[in-house]
Chain A
C-alpha cells in the first residue's frame, strides 16, 4: 500500500479505497494529510483488517466542503464495509461534520484539528500561550508549497505575507517522525515566514490511540 502514496496526489486527489473488500473489513475514511501516518499506525499495530481511503488534503482550503465530501464517501462505501471510521477532526467545519457523522451513524476523531490530536487533545488544549503559533505536521512540511505558499498567492505576491502571517510569532513543527530533512525544511519555512522556529516531536498522538480503540 505504501508504494501508492504520493504527497502531491494526496493533496489534490486523495487516495482510492482498495477494490472489492472481502469479509467484514473496516474502512478508514481519512484526510489525505493523514495517509502516511494512518498507514504507519496500521502497520505498527497490525491492524490488517483496516483499509484506507483519503479525500484530498486541500479540502482544508475550503472547509465548508468537507462535510459534504465525507458524507458522499460514507454513502459510497458503507455497503462494502462492516464499519467506517472517519479520520477527520472538526477541521474548521464548526461542528457540522460531527453532526453529519452522528446522522450517518459513523464515528470520527475527537478534537478540533490534526495539530491537536497529534500532540494529544488534552495537551494541546492546555496550551494557553500559543495563539500566535503556526503549526506544521510532517505532511504539511512536505506539502508547504502546494498547501500554503501557492494557494495563498505568496509565490506571485510576497507582499501579501504580512497580511497572512503578521499576527503569528512562531512556527511549531509537530513532527510525527524523526526526519532531519523535514526539520531543516521546516526551519527554512519559518525563516521565510519571518517566524521563530520550534521543533516538537509528537509521534502519532491521539491518532494511534483512536485507531487502536476503534479496532
Chain B
C-alpha cells in the first residue's frame, strides 16, 4: 500500500495519521513497524483496548475484506497476521491488566487426523482481537481433548477446524458425543475449513459454518448477543 515508507517517521505522525499508517503497515505485513507503532500509541497514553480495536483489528478487517474479494491472497494475509501478532503480543498482558471488555470464551482446535492450522490460527487471533478469550487446543485433537477442555472451565463457543475431506467427518463424532453427554446445548458450535460448507455444518449438527476468520468473529458475536438477550429476557 505504501511506497514511501523510508520517508515516514512513525513517531512524528499524529494519532490519526499513525492509526491509518498502521492499517497500511498491517496490509503490507510490516511487523517491526506495527510493533513500533503500538509502543508509540501506548506511550501517548492510549488504552491498550483502543490500540487493539482502532489500529490492529480495523487494519485486519480491511485485510479480510480484500482477501474475501480476491484482492489479497493467503501469503499476504499470513504476513498481515504475523504483523498483527507482533502487536498482540505487546498488548495481551496489558489488556488483562486494564480490564478490557470480554466478549466470551471459546475452545478451538483442529480435529483428529488433521495437522492443518493456518485457518484455525487466524480465527484464534481474530477472535482474541475481537475480545474473546480463546483456548487453542492445537492440531490432531481426539474428542476427549475437546470435552476435557470444555469441562475444565466455563466456555461459550466450541470451534473446530479441518482441511481434509477425510478428517472433516470427525466433527460429527465430537458433536454426537456432546449430545450423548447432554452438553451439546450448552455451547455454540462453529466449524470451518476449506472443504466444508453450510450444508455439511447443518448435517453434522453444528450451529454455523464460517468460511473465514472474519465470518467466525461476526458469527461468534451474534451468538453471544443472542445468549445475552436470552439471559436478560
A156 to B79, CA, bound (A): 11
Question: Do A152 and B168 touch across chains, with their CB atoms under 8 A apart?
Answer: no
- Known A-B contacts A131-B114, A163-B118; the reply to A112 vs B75 at CB < 8 A is no
Which single member of A94, A113, A154, A168 contacts B196 (CB below 8 Å)? A94
Question: What residues on B are CB-neighbors of A153 within 8 Å?
Answer: 73-76, 78-79
- Known A-B contacts A95-B200, A112-B164, A131-B140; the reply to A167 vs B75 at CB < 8 A is no
- Known A-B contacts A90-B165, A94-B165, A95-B200; the reply to A156 vs B115 at CB < 8 A is no
Shortest beta-carbon distance, B125 to chain A, in Å?
12
* Interface hits, A127-158 → B, CB 8 Å: 131-132, 151-154, 156-157
* Interface hits, B125-155 → A, CB 8 Å: 139-140
Question: What residues on B are CB-neighbors of A168 within 8 Å?
Answer: 115
Question: What residues on B are CB-neighbors of A160 within 8 Å?
Answer: 75, 78-79
Grouping DSSP codes into helix (H, G, I), strand (E, B) and loop, the B interface class, with mixed when no group exceeds half, is loop
Question: Do B165 and A93 touch across chains, with their CB atoms under 8 A apart?
Answer: yes
How many residues belonging to A are interface residues under a CB distance threshold of 8 Å?
25
Which single member of B29, B140, B168 contacts A94 (CB below 8 Å)? B168
A163 to B166, CA, bound (A): 22
Question: Do B165 and A167 touch across chains, with their CB atoms under 8 A apart?
Answer: no
Question: Do A92 and B115 touch across chains, with their CB atoms under 8 A apart?
Answer: no
- Which has the most chain A C-beta neighbours within 10 Å: B121, B168, B195, B197? B195
A90 to B197, CA, bound (A): 14
Shortest beta-carbon distance, B43 to chain A, in Å?
28
Question: What residues on B are CB-neighbors of A64 within 8 Å?
Answer: 194
Say yes or no for A105: interface residue by CB 8 A criterion: no
Say yes or no for A39: interface residue by CB 8 A criterion: no
Question: What residues on A are CB-neighbors of B76 within 8 Å?
Answer: 153
A157 to B121, CA, bound (A): 19
Say yes or no for A96: interface residue by CB 8 A criterion: yes
How many residues belonging to B are interface residues under a CB distance threshold of 8 Å?
27
Q: Mark B155-185, 1 if CB is under 8 A from A, else 0.
A: 0000000011110100000000000000000
Say yes or no for B221: interface residue by CB 8 A criterion: no
- Nearest A residue (CB) for B193: A94
A167 to B82, CA, bound (A): 17
- Which has the most chain B C-beta neighbours within 10 Å: A152, A159, A167, A168? A167
- Known A-B contacts A95-B200, A131-B114, A167-B117; the reply to A157 vs B194 at CB < 8 A is no
Question: Do A167 and B139 touch across chains, with their CB atoms under 8 A apart?
Answer: yes
Question: What residues on A are CB-neighbors of B163 within 8 Å?
Answer: 92
Q: Mark B47-79, 1 if CB is under 8 A from A, else 0.
A: 000000000000000000000000001111011
Shortest beta-carbon distance, A151 to chain B, in Å?
8
Say yes or no for A24: interface residue by CB 8 A criterion: no
Question: What residues on A are CB-neighbors of B73 within 8 Å?
Answer: 151, 153
Q: Which 9 pairs between the two chains have the least Cβ-Cβ distance?
A: A153-B75, A94-B195, A167-B115, A90-B165, A92-B195, A112-B165, A112-B166, A131-B113, A160-B78
Residues of B within 8 A of A (CB): 29, 73-76, 78-79, 82, 113-118, 121, 139-140, 163-166, 168, 194-197, 200
Chain A to chain B contacts (Cβ below 8 Å), 11 pairs:
A63-B194, A64-B194, A90-B165, A91-B165, A131-B113, A131-B114, A153-B75, A154-B75, A157-B79, A159-B82, A164-B118
